[in-house]
Amino acid sequence: MGSQATSGTTGLFVAAAALRLLLFTAFPGLPDLLTGRVEISTPVNSFKRLQEGLFLYNHNVSPYDGGVYHQAPLLLPLFSLLPDTAAYPIFTYALYILIDILSANALYKIAESGEASTSRLFKSPRAERKWSGYVVAALFLLNPFTIATCLARPTTVFTTCAILHAVSKAISGQIFTSMLSLSFAAYLSMYPILLLPPLVLLAYDRTYKPNGPSLVQFAGVNVLAVTISLAILFLSSFAVTGSWEFLYSTYGIQLTLTDLTPNVGLWWYFFVEMFDPFRSFFLGVFWLHLSSYAPALSIRIRHQPLVVLTLLTGIFGIFKPYPSVADTSLFLAMVSCFRHIFPLLRYSFLTGSVVLYSTFLGPAFYHLWIYAGSGNANFFYAITLVWSLGQSLLVSDLAFAALRDEWEVERPEMKGKEIRQI
């Protein structure tokens, strides 16, 4: 059975890689077309901006001169090793395909572990109802959002891969590797550092021993490991660029939102209309709102750390400063691990309809605004609100289903009965 599963997974990975390679080569204009789409590329992950930074880096000029490049410095030595993208794009294509396969492999291990339905402190009565790792990996690799992201080549794929490996390694008990992966994700995109509390809980539960360290001691050691890892990455970045300018250009732009390029998030239009005297206050409010979910969910859903991690990936896709469909593809991939609580979801049809509706209308409204000139910014922002609504419905519905599953374990006599919150 194990060899059959391995061969089946290998076949899936080969087929997914072949599909991506076919799209890259059969439609040579498609990658550049998708790279320019605001739904996929943002100021902090755009492949075009990466190419500009790489050009400056290769000519011994600070990549942060000009205010175009806002990504991690260590990406530049990596991409400088590849042949010129314009002349030999196949090497860049192969790198992004490989990252997608690595992400799917980590997701496969997460699904196969059974952590979604059976943790140290909780076992779902529906645990036998689940999808195999093969199905979960296939849903991720064949998701149109994932494929479009791979073709557009944003650097978000590296963050996604790092997050999935952090979770996978925590489940397998490789704590240091997990924290190192999370540090790399946080280094690339900053916001994944908010995943540290539930990730520590997950790692603690998977390696728990009655005579082992307490949760506080365990958390302290892992926070220290993440701090040291980030310090090494920052020092390496300083060695590459020769200055600390990258700190503001990479992370400061997310904290201050100085680049208001349209995207599928909620921030850009709000701050376009914001009066300058109130800007700092609302920046603080928005960041406080985003960061408050991690501790709150970690405390409330303590018995199911993987649920917390999944909910946070969805929340990031809605509320972080520069979201893209890549964040949604990660969230949907994580959700597919929770097949056992799908019957408890209340708004699955509505959620799917809203997401599909906004997926098709989003590009049309953007075209009306930017190219046709028959609309304005309100057109596009309105459809991004619908997009965020669809994700918000799924996040809240998944949280309800997970808590309802816990509640039925505590009160089995209420299984199947309708409840109302008063």
Q: What is the pLDDT of residue 71?
A: 92
- 3 state SS of 123: strand
Is the residue at 280 inside a domain?
A: yes
pLDDT tens per residue, range 119-173: 888 888 888 888 888 999 999 999 999 999 999 999 999 999 999 999 999 999 8
Residue 193 contacts by C-beta under 8 Å, 6 or more apart in sequence?
182, 186, 226
Q: What is the pLDDT of residue 1?
A: 44
Helix ranges (DSSP H) in 126-246: 133-141, 144-152, 156-171, 175-189, 196-206, 215-241, 245-246
- Backbone phi, then psi, for 123, in 5-degree steps? -130, 120
What does pTM read for this prediction?
0.94
**342 within 8 A of 348, measured Cβ to Cβ:** yes
Q: 228 is in which domain, residue-wise?
A: 1-414
At residue 362, what is the residue type? Answer: G
Q: What distance in Å separates the CA atoms of residue 239 and residue 230, rounded to the nearest whole number?
A: 14
Is the residue at 295 inside a domain?
A: yes
Low-confidence ranges of the chain (pLDDT < 70): 1-7, 414, 416, 420-422
Q: What is the pLDDT of residue 85?
A: 84
**47 within 8 A of 153, measured Cβ to Cβ:** yes
Helix ranges (DSSP H) in 27-117: 30-35, 47-58, 75-80, 89-113
- 3 state SS of 374: coil
Is the residue at 422 inside a domain?
A: no
Is the residue at 419 inside a domain?
A: no
Q: What distance in Å separates the CA atoms of residue 409 and residue 397, rounded to the nearest whole number?
A: 19
- DSSP state at residue 87: T
Q: What is the pLDDT of residue 6?
A: 67
Q: What distance in Å separates the CA atoms of residue 149 and residue 156, rounded to the nearest whole number?
A: 8
Number of structural domains found in the chain: 1
**333 within 8 A of 314, measured Cβ to Cβ:** no
Is the residue at 95 inside a domain?
A: yes
Is the residue at 155 inside a domain?
A: yes
Q: What is the pLDDT of residue 66?
A: 79
Is the residue at 420 inside a domain?
A: no
CA distances from 277 to 87, 282, 283 (A): 48, 10, 11
Is the residue at 289 inside a domain?
A: yes
**92 within 8 A of 101, measured Cβ to Cβ:** no
pLDDT tens per residue, range 355-381: 999 999 989 999 888 888 787 888 889
Q: What is the pLDDT of residue 48?
A: 92
Long-range contacts of 67-72 (CB under 8 A, 24+ apart): 67/249, 69/249, 70/43, 70/44, 70/249, 70/250, 70/253, 70/259, 71/44, 71/45, 71/155, 71/188, 71/250, 72/155, 72/187, 72/188, 72/237, 72/246, 72/250
